[in-house]
Structure formats: structure tokens, C-alpha cells
Amino acid sequence: MAAPLAPFVDPLPFPLRLIAGERDGRLTVRIRAGVHKFHRDLPASSIWGFEGLIPGPTIEAERAHAVTVEWCNQLEGPFPVCSTVAPEATDADGVPVQCLPGLSGGEPDRHASRLIGHTVVHLHGALTPASYDGWAENIFAPGQTAVFHYPMEQRAALLWFHDHVMGITKLDVYAGLAGLWIVRDERERELSLPEGPPFEVPLLIQDRNFDTDERGRLTGRLVHKTDPEVMEAFPPFTVVNGKVWPVLDVQPATYRFRVLNGSNARTYRLVLIHDGGPALERIVQIGTDHGLLRGPVSAPADGLVLASAERADLLVDFSDLAPGSELTVLNTAAAPFDGSAFPAADAPKAADLAGLLPYPEVLRFRVAGEAASPISIPRELATDFDSPPAEALSAAPHRMIALVEMELEDAPNMLTMRELEHVADDREGPLVTVRDGEQTTRYRSVAAHFEDTTTFFPMLGRYEVWQLVNLTGDTHPIHLHLDPFQILSRRAIRYEIPEGGIADRNLTAVITLERDRHDELDHTIDDNERGLKDTIRVNPNEIVEIAVRFTTYSGRYMYHCHILEHEDRDMMRPFVTMPPELMPFMA
């Protein structure tokens, strides 16, 4: 399908830098309406942004140097995004409407058009006291200010801050309320990694759609469009640092890319193409969500997968390339993503309307200018973490969470996370039965919706094992607030859910820990997932086990799917971290 915008004509913008150390750790960030040009040939778009910018400014902080941010809500309506549900999933030519600009016959959602700018800011990946974590219901109105204190007692990593308002995160983030936050530390400096421009380049990848006028021309007005069959928005235009399909001139040198998938729902599988074929060997990944891996790893053979909110710290070597060389980053992940493979060699043919991927283009690099010496990559990177000790895990409480999708008539499907409680063998009623070899364990569902009773009270300092079992057809990136975690296992399951087994709160299912014969996924853990993560992909027909140890701060936090349309409806739950001394007093 011919693109209505020319790719690779806008230079990649670098977000404005706000270096906390130059301002005594005290920052003021105004949250306000603005205008932004997403592409040379698009009219300016109305947006909401931190400092009125897309992306918001990148805040750079030092480990153990606290940062206080005064978040000043100066938003004002009208809400800049037209939100709509198209009446049909495809147009008269059979093209999925989500691949097309415009409203596709949908009515603008009148509730969305009346939003006036309530917000709350969450710093994703930060070890933050609960009162500054951006609880989804602690909303501040236009004219109100929140002063949040971030201790920054954490290792170097790429974090990001974004709106987190109950029920409308998908709209507020889509309107532009997102920015990057980099924590730096001495370990990274010992490794002589590039810091700042030109060789350290943040890449915030998102997808956006725009309205059209009566003649079919793009107007620049942001459109969040879903359809009766797909409740997530998968817009056709990939936007990097605020530009559709930009181009970056690079010197023949090694670059450090700090990559974040900040899309509402889309998962990317990024493949670097040079001379018509994959050039993944040029990429070395050194860090993940919470910073450095123990050692550098190669890109996965199919390409680098990043679901919403996942990050990658990459070194890419252009040092041997002649001026004029061009390399292109393509996305091969169909949407909604279900973990299916796609060979990197086929990336130039990845366009797939049925997979809501009309344009695989992401970004182009054009080699120009002076050669600089390549970086030698140390074999040992992080030295400050190990796998969770076996004795800690054997004593760890286990928590089982089932991800389920309930189909509804005349309303978008509802996704929930069912917290499951172990019950005795003679228990009757709607139960989840898990068969693992000879062992059978039964559970009942004790919570499903955000407002249901809190059932998770992790004790500070103690390891816990969380088991996330996916009973839906799509991959869900599950994010825990507060501390990072490590993945322990990813295993195939098969399951049966009887007719009516997914009720509003109850759940009936039989889960067997063995591969379904129709299941083609390999359920492996990628090398780049063996670091400190805060968001983990849980693929269909899969159970993922993670080990988490909450530290430092007691209070009420959230965990949720980071597909924003899922988080808003209703894949989010609270947990309360508790100091050990107070546990005996819990009823």
C-alpha cells in the first residue's frame, strides 16, 4: 500500500535534555498543550506534552542524587486526540481500517472530546516511595501541581515518565504525555560508554494515526482508532522521537541507542537492514529495562523484540561503512503480537495488512562525516547482581495470576488478571486446576478487577515467585512497579476453559504444563531477558515465572499489563509492600 507520507525525509530529533545535576536536583516541568509537526508534509498537530513537547524533555539524573520534580499541570482542553471506534473492522476494499488514516466512519467519542487535562505522572522503572509513584487514582487537575521526590537510589538505566490516569492512560499517553529519564552511575563510566550526543541517541518508538479532510488529505489531527474486532489501537505510522520514519546521519563509528517502545499496544521486532539483507551482527545489546546486563549479547536471530514499555541499550557499529551507506530499521511484528516468528531475511517483505502492519519502516541511518574509533565492548558489564539464590526461592511465597479475556456483547472485550488462591482438594465451585506432571494444584479466583480487595502483601526484603499464566491469544507485557525482577522460566501450557468459564469474577479452567500440539512458539527466554527487568512478555500458551524482591519502600503500588488499552480495561491490580515488623499485625 503506497504510503501517504514520504519516509526518511525528517531528521531524527534529539529530545531536549534536562540535566538534574545542573539544577541542584530541583526541576520544574510544565505539563501543557502544544503543537507538534510529526512530519515535514503534515500540518501541525495539537498535542499534550511535558513542556508541550513530543517527546517530553529527557531528564538525566545521577545515582544516589535525589531529584525533586514539580509537575505543574497547565493542561487545557480541547483534548487533542479524536478517539473513535470504527463501525467495521475493514473498509469496502477489505483493508483493515486501522491501517488507514481518518475515522473510517467512526463517531468521535464525546467523553474523550470533553477531557480537560486531569493527569498523574508515573516514573516507570524508578524505585520511588509510594506517595510519589503516580497512583492511578491520585489525579491532579489543571491548575494543580504535584511535587514528587525521586531518591534515585538505583543503578543506571533508561526509565520513562508518562501519564497513568485510571481508565484514560491510553488517551493521555497517545496525546503525547511521555518522556525519557536516564539514570547514570560510575559503573557505566568505568566502561567508557557514550554519554550524551552525538554518540548516545535515545529512541522513543511509538505509532500514531491522523485524521483526513473531505478530500482524503492528512490533517495532522491525532486519531486513536479501534474497531469492533480489535480493542487496541495499532496506528499505521511509526514515529521515532516525534517524527514519522525519520533519518539519522551517523559517522562511521559506534553508536549507543537507548531504545524504548512507548507505543500504546504495538510490539516491535526490529531488524537492521543493509544492502537488502539483515545486518543484526552490527548490534550488541548491553542493557535492558533496569540497566546493564552481566555481559553483552547478540540480537536474537529474528530481530530485537520490544513490547510496550520494554527498553534496550544497544551498541551499533557503523565504523567500517563508507559515507553514503544507508541502513534501515524495519519492524516485522504483526499486530496484535502473539509471539509468532518471522525470519529476519524476510524483513523487507514484512508489510502485512491483515497483521495491521502496512508500513514496516521505522528509521534510517545514513553514514556521513568523519570516522571515529569504534568502541571496544567489555566482556563483563554488570557486576552487581546474580540469579536469585536457590534457598531464597525454595522459601519464597508463590503467587499465581491468570491473564484472561472476557468477550462481551456490544462492548469491547474486558481483560483481567485473576489472582488465584490455593485451595484444598475437596473444595467445590469454579476452580482453576493446574496439572504439572503428577502434581495437581487447585486455585480459586480471589480478585479480578482493580477495585477488588487487595490480596498481595509482599514483605520487604523477601523473594517472591510470581507465576503469570496466559489464557488469551495475545502476548501481554506485564509490568511491576517498584523493584525490578528476574525471569526464572517460560514454559508451554495447554488449557481448557469450559463454556462460560470466564465469569466476571470466577474462573474455571484446567491448565496442563505441557505443549499444546497446535502451539508453534518455542517459549524460550532470550539472552537479553536475563537481566533486571520490570516488564516481561507473557506469550499465548505460556506460563512465565519471575522472582521479585521488593525493597526500601512500603506502600500501595500497582502491577499491570503495559498494553495501555488493556491496563485501562481492566488489566491492573494493586499490591501493598509491607515491612517485616508489621506483618504480624496484618489481620
Q: Given the rule CB under 5 A, which of 62-70, 160-168, 470-478, 516-524 is the region that contacts Cu ion? A: 470-478
* Interacting residues with Cu ion between 120 and 159 (CB under 5 A): none
Q: For residues 227 and 232, which CB has a smaller minimum distance to Cu ion in the complex?
A: 232
Q: Given the rule CB under 5 A, which of 377-385, 405-413, 491-499, 566-574 is the region that contacts Cu ion? A: 566-574
DSSP assigned state of 431: -
Q: Given the rule CB under 5 A, which of 79-87, 261-269, 374-382, 554-562 is the region that contacts Cu ion? A: 554-562
Q: For residues 12 and 563, which CB has a smaller minimum distance to Cu ion in the complex?
A: 563
Q: Given the rule CB under 5 A, which of 118-126, 240-248, 255-263, 558-566 is the region that contacts Cu ion? A: 558-566
CA dihedral 511, 515, 521, 524 (to 10 degrees): 90
HEC profile of 174-242: HHCCEEEEEEECHHHHHCCCCCCCCCEEEEEEEEECEEECCCCCEEEEEEEEECCCCCCCCCCEEEECC
Distance CA 405, CA 473 (A): 9
Q: For residues 309 and 381, which CB has a smaller minimum distance to Cu ion in the complex?
A: 309
Residues in contact with Cu ion, shown as a per-residue x/- string from 54 to 83 under the rule CB under 5 A: ------------------------------
Among 425, 125, 149, which residue's Cα sits nearest to residue 258? 125
Least distance (Å) between residue 193 CB and Cu ion: 33
Please, are residues 540 and 389 in contact by the beta-carbon 8 Å criterion? no
**Which grid cell is 4?**
501517504
Among 542, 500, 536, 490, which residue's Cα sits nearest to residue 519? 542
> Which one among 127, 136, 511, 563 touches Cu ion, defined by CB under 5 A?
563
479 binds Cu ion (CB under 5 A): no
Least distance (Å) between residue 334 CB and Cu ion: 16
Distance CA 501, CA 197 (A): 54
**Which grid cell is 394?**
525454595
Tell how strand 361-367 and strand 277-278 pair up.
unpaired
Least distance (Å) between residue 569 CB and Cu ion: 10
Q: For residues 205 and 414, which CB has a smaller minimum distance to Cu ion in the complex?
A: 414
Count of residues for the chain?
A: 587
Number of residues that bind Cu ion (CB under 5 A): 4
- Cα–Cα distances (Å) from 511 to 470, 505, 508, 525, 543, in that order, read 10, 18, 10, 21, 10
Distance CA 472, CA 514 (A): 16
Amino acid code (one letter) for 572: M
Q: For residues 537 and 566, which CB has a smaller minimum distance to Cu ion in the complex?
A: 566
HEC profile of 48-99: EEECCECCCCEEEEECCCCEEEEEEECCCCCCCEEEEECCCCECCCCCEHHH
- Cα–Cα distances (Å) from 363 to 247, 257, 438, in that order, read 6, 12, 51
Q: Given the rule CB under 5 A, which of 114-122, 314-322, 356-364, 475-483 is the region that contacts Cu ion? A: 475-483
Q: For residues 366 and 476, which CB has a smaller minimum distance to Cu ion in the complex?
A: 476
Distance CA 274, CA 280 (A): 9
> Which one among 476, 479, 490, 560 touches Cu ion, defined by CB under 5 A?
476
Least distance (Å) between residue 573 CB and Cu ion: 13
Distance CA 459, CA 125 (A): 20
Least distance (Å) between residue 538 CB and Cu ion: 9
Q: For residues 155 and 476, which CB has a smaller minimum distance to Cu ion in the complex?
A: 476
- Give the CB-nearest residue to Cu ion: 561
Least distance (Å) between residue 315 CB and Cu ion: 31
Q: For residues 521 and 563, which CB has a smaller minimum distance to Cu ion in the complex?
A: 563
Least distance (Å) between residue 261 CB and Cu ion: 14
**Which grid cell is 522?**
518455542
Q: For residues 123 and 403, which CB has a smaller minimum distance to Cu ion in the complex?
A: 403
Q: For residues 261 and 328, which CB has a smaller minimum distance to Cu ion in the complex?
A: 261
* Interacting residues with Cu ion between 290 and 349 (CB under 5 A): none
**Which grid cell is 375?**
568502541
Distance CA 222, CA 568 (A): 19
Q: Given the rule CB under 5 A, which of 78-86, 102-110, 519-527, 564-572 is the region that contacts Cu ion? A: 564-572
Least distance (Å) between residue 503 CB and Cu ion: 20
Q: Given the rule CB under 5 A, which of 50-58, 92-100, 388-396, 476-484 is the region that contacts Cu ion? A: 476-484
Least distance (Å) between residue 257 CB and Cu ion: 26
Q: Given the rule CB under 5 A, which of 108-116, 128-136, 418-426, 565-573 is the region that contacts Cu ion? A: 565-573
Give 133-169 as a DSSP string. S--TT--B-TT-EEEEEE---S-SEEEEEEE--TTTH
> Which one among 165, 561, 564, 572 touches Cu ion, defined by CB under 5 A?
561
Q: For residues 464 and 568, which CB has a smaller minimum distance to Cu ion in the complex?
A: 568
Distance CA 336, CA 331 (A): 13
Least distance (Å) between residue 417 CB and Cu ion: 9
Q: Given the rule CB under 5 A, which of 58-66, 321-329, 473-481, 495-503 is the region that contacts Cu ion? A: 473-481
**Which grid cell is 439?**
502434581
> Which one among 224, 311, 566, 569 touches Cu ion, defined by CB under 5 A?
566
The footprint of Cu ion (CB under 5 A) covers 476, 561, 563, 566
